[in-house]
Amino acid sequence: MLELARLVAVVSIGAVLGGCAFSAEAPVVVKPELVTNQSSIGTGKAVRVSVVDQRPSKVLGTRGVRGVGSELTAADNLTGAILDSVSEGLRKEGFAIATDSSSDASDLRIELRDLEYNVTMGFWAGTLRTQCALNAVCRVPQKEPYQKLFRGEHEESVQVVQSADANVRYINDAVSKAITELLDDPELGQCLATPHVPNTANAGAAGPASK
């Protein structure tokens, strides 16, 4: 009887999570929420921030298991939302966000490598997992670049297809955690705060002028 009950439960959950037709959902609007502490590591140092989308697919996933159900995508504000969130976090750390080509500014390039929504079938329930991967590259004149991959993840057990509002929360949670990890990385902060060192290799190369 126990095995039969488990089988019925699995079949029922599978039908709910993966066997129904779903209407199309509006693109997910990403609006990260950060929990960062204010600091003075930036000491007013200028930073240029850019964000590029390098995901292999613009589809986040489907609402059901095994690719069943409507596809989830992110709204067009995705890279802009990440840019605004990172810039806000850097300002709280004492950095100034450069909007021009100032030569003494540090460069922070953020590459969105992954943003996924996935539901897998378990024995009694399904597992919903959203994950985000951001690769940060810090470049400072006359210094070696610093690069690191940061990840954020949201995971929970589910037995029914999640609502649109819930999916927005799950996806934003993963993005928020990845950005928070990025901003909390001390080595990245130190790289961005590195003072500009002018290239003086050729200074004085020319001899004194002939009389």
Per-residue pLDDT of the chain (211 residues; tens, 9 = 90+): 434 333 333 333 444 444 444 456 789 999 999 876 778 888 999 999 999 999 999 999 997 765 567 899 999 999 999 999 999 999 999 999 998 877 789 999 999 999 999 998 865 678 899 999 999 999 998 789 999 999 999 998 877 788 999 999 999 999 999 999 999 999 999 999 998 766 655 444 444 444 4
Distance CA 169, CA 7 (A): 31
- Cα–Cα distances (Å) from 22 to 7, 155, 202, in that order, read 25, 22, 66
Question: Does residue 166 sit within a domain?
Answer: yes
Taking CA 59 as the corner, what is the angle to CA 177 and CA 54, rounded to the nearest 5 degrees?
65
Secondary structure (DSSP) of 152-167: EEEEEEESSPPPHHHH
Are residues 52 and 79 in contact, defined by beta-carbon separation less than 8 angstroms?
Answer: yes
Question: Does residue 201 sit within a domain?
Answer: no
Question: Does residue 200 sit within a domain?
Answer: no
Distance CA 10, CA 155 (A): 20
Question: Does residue 5 sit within a domain?
Answer: no
Question: Does residue 59 sit within a domain?
Answer: yes
Q: What is the CATH number of the domain that holds 127?
A: 3.30.160.150
Are residues 50 and 82 in contact, defined by beta-carbon separation less than 8 angstroms?
Answer: no
> What is the model's pLDDT at position 199?
61
Measuring CA to CA, which residue among 141, 135, 80, 144 is closest to residue 107? 141
Measuring CA to CA, which residue among 130, 132, 131, 134 is closest to residue 112? 134
> What is the model's pLDDT at position 195?
87
Q: Count of domains in the chain?
A: 1
Question: Does residue 88 sit within a domain?
Answer: yes
Question: Does residue 202 sit within a domain?
Answer: no
| pTM of the predicted structure, to 2 decimals | 0.80
Residue range(s) defining the domain that contains residue 129: 26-192
Question: Does residue 79 sit within a domain?
Answer: yes
Sign of CA dihedral 116, 121, 122, 125: positive
Amino acid code (one letter) for 100: D
